[in-house]
Amino acid sequence: MQPQKLDILLPLTQLQGITLTEPLALAFEQMKKCRTPEKGGRVYRCPDCGTKVILYNPCNKRGCPICYRKHQIQWQKKTERKILPVTHYHLNFSVPTVYTGIWLRNKNEVMSSLFIAARDALSYVSKETGLLLGSVLVFQSHGRGMSYKPHIHCVLSGGGLDKDNQWINLQNIPTKHMELITKESFEREINRRLHTTTQIIEDSRKAKDYRIYMSIHKNSGKNVIAYLSKSQHGVVIDMEQVFKIEEDSIVFKEADYGSIWETRLLKKTFIERYLNHIPPDRAVVKRYYGLYSNRHSKDLKKARSLIGPVTLEEPHIYKERCPICNQEMELIEVIPKNESYKFRKYGREQGPPKHKTVICVA
């Protein structure tokens, strides 16, 4: 029988040499209650056949292997509605591997420095072209196999508004000059925040990892947003997959550009990487600039009108459906988390939590 997802994670957090920070320990305590009666919930009733269904509340903690998909889907749908239906560039800002160890010890500082560096490089493009462009920046800390690889993905609109509020297509992106700006800005910021040693800076200058990789996506940026959504909310692998649990290791799979890659990690390595990829509390890992920022909402509306008549898909309002007759169900009671005893009156309708994975005490 395939172990349930936190039945995998919890024992690994208790391995010798693994120490949870206080915020992570508290988060795992909340994960144990995710979508269980202790978190409270809502009771629905079918008006046709009378079937009752209980939906327990999520914990909404970063890194939770139970409720993470909800947040991924919500961010994807929200961002797909925000970006314009035009060609987008997908840019990847990376830093030398010498900074990986620094990131492990100073996550917020490295992440913030890289955001500023990417912002400065994008500002150069806007200044040179005279266009107000739109960009979505997402920080990622992982590579294949949950390896450590701090970098930023950028979804950049393929055009913008000029000083006369006219839409102009972006002709080219000077990636080489942007790499220089990224390097100078990042090193300046990281040194200001951490006072990094001269040797580290010298080693980074010899490296060739300040690369900006670029791809073009014609007429839309939705496929890039869909890709980036998969690592939102602190879970960087598909927790719905079947994990192969061996005596000392764990085997899992990842999809990458149409190929399936299999990775085997020691159990200690697996949990160390999983925990390290959970963003620190209150860390902002997604940022919006230019046309896609809130301050330019009026400019974004103007850009939409210039691009042409496009019918925006209305936000999907999810309705609970009866598992027996598929009729839309009606909400009959909301039960707070500190009143879980109220679930008892529903008897057999209480059932198990409505999710594929449950957390059990190891």
pLDDT of residue 128: 95
Q: Which of 50-64, 81-95, 199-213 has the lowest mean pLDDT?
A: 199-213
State yes or no: pLDDT of 319 exceeds 90. no
- Tokens linked to 93: 């800002």
State yes or no: pLDDT of 356 exceeds 90. no
pLDDT of residue 198: 64
Choice between 350 and 280, residue whose per-residue pLDDT is larger: 280
For the stretch 146-160, pLDDT in tens is: 999 999 999 999 999
Q: Are 319 and 328 in contact (CB under 8 A)?
A: yes
Q: How confident is the model at residue 317 (pLDDT cuts 50, 70, 90)?
A: low
Cα separation, 142 vs 107, whole angstroms: 13
State yes or no: pLDDT of 355 exceeds 60. no
State yes or no: pLDDT of 84 exceeds 90. yes
Place of tokens 């490296």: 207
Tell if the pTM clears 0.75, that is, is over it. Answer: yes
Q: How confident is the model at residue 113 (pLDDT cuts 50, 70, 90)?
A: very high
Cα separation, 42 vs 79, whole angstroms: 28
157: nearest Cα among 306, 314, 311, 312 = 306
Q: How confident is the model at residue 360 (pLDDT cuts 50, 70, 90)?
A: very low
State yes or no: pLDDT of 70 exceeds 70. yes
Average pLDDT over residues 109-118: 96
Mean of pLDDT over the chain: 88
Cα separation, 329 vs 53, whole angstroms: 9
| First CA to last CA distance, the chain | 17
pLDDT of residue 4: 64
Choice between 111 and 348, residue whose per-residue pLDDT is larger: 111
Cα separation, 328 vs 320, whole angstroms: 6
β-bridge pairing 286-290 and 134-142: antiparallel
- Tokens linked to 310: 């496009």
State yes or no: pLDDT of 310 exceeds 90. no
Q: How many Cα atoms occupy the beta-carbon half-sphere of 194 within 13 Å?
A: 21
Cα separation, 279 vs 272, whole angstroms: 13
Contacts of 105 (CB under 8 A, 6+ apart): none
pLDDT of residue 308: 76
State yes or no: pLDDT of 27 exceeds 70. yes
Average pLDDT over residues 195-208: 65
Cα separation, 85 vs 218, whole angstroms: 9
Average pLDDT over residues 304-319: 73
